[in-house]
C-alpha cells in the first residue's frame, strides 16, 4: 500500500485515508475538482441563481398586487341606527346593527392586516431579488 505525508504533521499515512491518524488533519482532495469546474457549469449555476431571483421577484410583485386587491376590498357600509325607544322591536334592530358593525370592523382588520403583510413581504421579496441579481 502506498503512503503519503500528512501536510500538517508530516507523519506517514495511507494514500487513500481522509484523516491523519497522528494529528487528525483532514485531507481535502476535492480542491482540484472545484478548480476544474467548466465554464458551462459555472454559467449553469449563475442561470439557476438568476431564475430563482426572477421567481422571487415574480412572487414579490404578485404579493404587492394582492395587497392592493386587499386594500381595495369593500368592507360594506356602517349600519346606523336611531334610538326610538325601549321596545323589543327597536332592541332587535339595534342588536343587528351592532353585529353588522362588528363584522365590518373584523373585515377592516382583515383588509388592512392582510394588505399590510402582503405589501411588506412583497417589497422585501422584490428588494432581495434585486440585490441578488446585482
Q: Which is nearer to Zn ion, 15 or 134 (by Cβ)? A: 15
Cell of 94: 339595534
- The answer to whether 13 touches 3, Cβ cutoff 8 Å, is yes
> Segment contacting Zn ion (CB under 5 A): 14-22, 77-85, 87-95, 104-112?
14-22
Q: Return the residue of 3, 4, 5, 8 that touches Zn ion, per CB under 5 A.
A: 8
Q: Which is nearer to Zn ion, 4 or 8 (by Cβ)? A: 8
Long-range contacts, 73-76 (Cβ 8 Å, 24+) = 73/107, 73/111, 75/104, 75/107, 75/108, 75/111, 76/100, 76/103, 76/104, 76/107
Rule CB under 5 A: say whether 14 interacts with Zn ion. no
Q: Which is nearer to Zn ion, 27 or 66 (by Cβ)? A: 27
Is the C-alpha dihedral spanning 87, 90, 96, 102 positive or negative? negative
Rule CB under 5 A: say whether 22 interacts with Zn ion. yes
Query: Binders of Zn ion: how many residues, by CB under 5 A?
Result: 8
Q: Could you list the residues that contact Zn ion (CB under 5 A)?
A: 6, 8-9, 11, 20, 22-23, 25
Amino acid at each position: 500500500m502506498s503512503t503519503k505525508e500528512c501536510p500538517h504533521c508530516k507523519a506517514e499515512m495511507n494514500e487513500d485515508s481522509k484523516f491523519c491518524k497522528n494529528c487528525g488533519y483532514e485531507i481535502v482532495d476535492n480542491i482540484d475538482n472545484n478548480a476544474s469546474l467548466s465554464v458551462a457549469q459555472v454559467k449553469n449555476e449563475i442561470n439557476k441563481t438568476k431564475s430563482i431571483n426572477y421567481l422571487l421577484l415574480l412572487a414579490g410583485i404578485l404579493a404587492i398586487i394582492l395587497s392592493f386587491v386587499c386594500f381595495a376590498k369593500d368592507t360594506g357600509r356602517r349600519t346606523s341606527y336611531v334610538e326610538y325607544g325601549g321596545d323589543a322591536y327597536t332592541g332587535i334592530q339595534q342588536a343587528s346593527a351592532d353585529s353588522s358593525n362588528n363584522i365590518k370592523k373584523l373585515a377592516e382588520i382583515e383588509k388592512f392586516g392582510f394588505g399590510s403583510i402582503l405589501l411588506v413581504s412583497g417589497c422585501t421579496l422584490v428588494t432581495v431579488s434585486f440585490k441578488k441579481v446585482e
